[in-house]
Amino acid sequence: MRSTSDSKRNLIIVSNRLPLSIKRVDGTFQSSLSSGGLVTSLSGLCKSTQFQWFGWPGLEVKDSQDRADVEKSLSEHHAVPIFLDSDLAHEHYNGFSNRILWPILHYQSGVIFDDGPWQAYRRVNELFADSIADVAETGTLIWVHDYHLMLLPELLRNRLHEKDKHCAIGFSLHTPFPVGDFWRNLPVRKYLIEGLLSSDLIGFHTDEYKQNFIETCASLLGARTEIPNQIQYRNRLVCTDKFIVGIDPQKFTDTLQKPEVKARIKSLEERYTGVKVIVGVDRLDHIKGLTQKLKGFDAFLEDNPDLRNKVVLIQVAVPSREDVKEYQELETELSTIAGKINGKYATPEGTPLLYMHRSVPFTELVALYSIADVCLLASTRDGMNLVSFEYVACQAERHGVLVLSEFAGAATFMRDGSIPFHPANTTEMSESIAKALNLDPAERKRKYEYLRDFVNKNTSAKWGETFIGRLSQRGKRPDRPC
């Protein structure tokens, strides 16, 4: 959140969690950068634009002196904490956002609505609105992120109005937005859509998500949507668009040059001499299709006996949402499948699957991306999927092949440079892996160059600056057509 060139803009970024985790160590509060898609996507913007970042610091702080200490520690990073009680934070984050809303946004059925978590969701959105409305000034640009805060634009708009402050509010959704019929599964859907429609600008990862949202506004609320990218509802004009999120490719290029990373790459290459490496890096989440991936890899080993002992899948499953029962069950299932695969195919020469259920340091991640001949991503649904971008950023020398689920938002843009497949079709996955491993060098190079150009063109900095630029224009001329 450091500033460089653009210190004139008054910008507030809001997300459920701050990008810094706070821990109490020996009586003092210490902060460390957290990981995930949102942090990655906004990190590029830090280089060019100054902003304050509002969000929950990740722990309950009751004592007023402690709160002051946390505020002071975070203010050095331009971060502002919104304090929540543990129970409330848990019900909002795990209860509603992750157990109810997240699955619906990702087309998972069988979600059971519960009013308690919904009330917690509302309450947290209100607390965020209170904090931000207090500090925002007329002219401040407010950029709200993700599904945890869908009610915030409306709550904030009302509070700002009461205080006679005029601010442009933007919202970016990092998940897919499902087709209207699926969205109907959520009984409180109307409130969430109305909440979003107090924004001036709403961003989606793909045209498909944007279009699904526009159609839902029309069918659910009777909003006027005849003009492309424009929604008219209750005397408000709301603009929507696709904004391609990305990474900071330079960060990966620079890391690859570090002596310790070069040494690590060399030692991994020696370890895997004569063996093709497939890498997978995913948060341990149902939407990442890890069960499907392991089953597809099992089918690949079954179908290609001659390649056993010559291929290894290194799968990093980053722990995520460990308080939620469904995520604990998924981990148990994955460990079982991984054990069965190795039980079936391991020999004294080696095991075909390295399943790592833990976070790995960034330098290790980069080394793994770099030595892998193939990156296999099997998302059943995924807003974008930035791991696919990161793999490409580390493949300047090897020209590795990306085998990418057609359900990742990234597949919309990367189809020609990757090998797309349906994650529920194990035969297709098995064939896609074999095809990637056997691709001739000229075709690998062509695909790699296509992806490299895309990743270099669509950086996280460009994404952030484009969105902020459009939001700033909307702030100046809110009634102007999009």
Query: Which residue, 111 or 346, is less far from ligand ADQ as judged by CB?
Result: 111
By the rule CB under 6 A, 359 interacts with ligand ADQ: yes
Element (H, E) at 133: helix 115-135
Query: Which residue, 18 or 223, is less far from ligand ADQ as judged by CB?
Result: 18
CB of residue 226 vs ligand ADQ: minimum separation in angstroms? 30
By the rule CB under 6 A, 330 interacts with ligand ADQ: no
By the rule CB under 6 A, 245 interacts with ligand ADQ: yes
Counting residues that bind ligand ADQ (by CB under 6 A) gives: 23
Q: Which of 283, 399, 447, 474 binds ligand ADQ (CB under 6 A)?
A: 283
Distance (Å, whole) CA 262 – CA 342 = 30
Q: What six digits make up the tokens of 441? A: 């060098």
By the rule CB under 6 A, 296 interacts with ligand ADQ: no
Distance (Å, whole) CA 338 – CA 257 = 34
- Closest CB to ligand ADQ: residue number: 37
* Proportion of the chain in helix, strand, coil states, percent, rounded to 5: 50, 20, 30
Residue 401, SS3 per DSSP: strand
By the rule CB under 6 A, 40 interacts with ligand ADQ: yes
Q: Which of 169, 281, 313, 367 binds ligand ADQ (CB under 6 A)?
A: 281
Interacting residues of 127 by C-beta distance below 8 A, sequence separation 6+: 82, 84
By the rule CB under 6 A, 382 interacts with ligand ADQ: yes
Q: What six digits make up the tokens of 251? A: 């960060």
CB of residue 130 vs ligand ADQ: minimum separation in angstroms? 26
Site string for ligand ADQ, 158-177 (x = CB under 6 A): ----------------xx--
Give residues 17-36 in contact with ligand ADQ (rule: CB under 6 A).
Answer: 35-36
Query: Which residue, 237 or 354, is less far from ligand ADQ as judged by CB?
Result: 354
Stretch that binds ligand ADQ, among 2-10, 129-137, 327-335, 358-366 (CB under 6 A): 358-366
CB of residue 215 vs ligand ADQ: minimum separation in angstroms? 21
**What are the helix and strand counts (H, E) for the chain?**
19, 16
Query: Which residue, 39 or 179, is less far from ligand ADQ as judged by CB?
Result: 39
Apex 158 CA angle, 155 and 162, nearest 5? 140
DSSP β-bridge partners for residue 171 = 144, 202
Give residues 362-381 in contact with ligand ADQ (rule: CB under 6 A).
Answer: 362, 365
Residue 413, SS3 per DSSP: helix
Element (H, E) at 80: strand 79-81
By the rule CB under 6 A, 384 interacts with ligand ADQ: yes
CB of residue 37 vs ligand ADQ: minimum separation in angstroms? 2
Q: Which of 198, 225, 385, 430 binds ligand ADQ (CB under 6 A)?
A: 385
Kindly report the number of other CB atoms within 10 A of residue 457's CB atom.
Answer: 11
By the rule CB under 6 A, 390 interacts with ligand ADQ: yes
- One DSSP character per residue, 259-307 reads HHHHHHHHHHHHHTTT-EEEEEEEES-GGGTHHHHHHHHHHHHHH-GGG
CA distances from 148 to 204, 227, 383 (A): 15, 29, 15
- Per CB under 6 A, residues contacting ligand ADQ are 35-38, 40-41, 174-175, 245, 281, 283, 318, 359-360, 362, 365, 382-387, 390
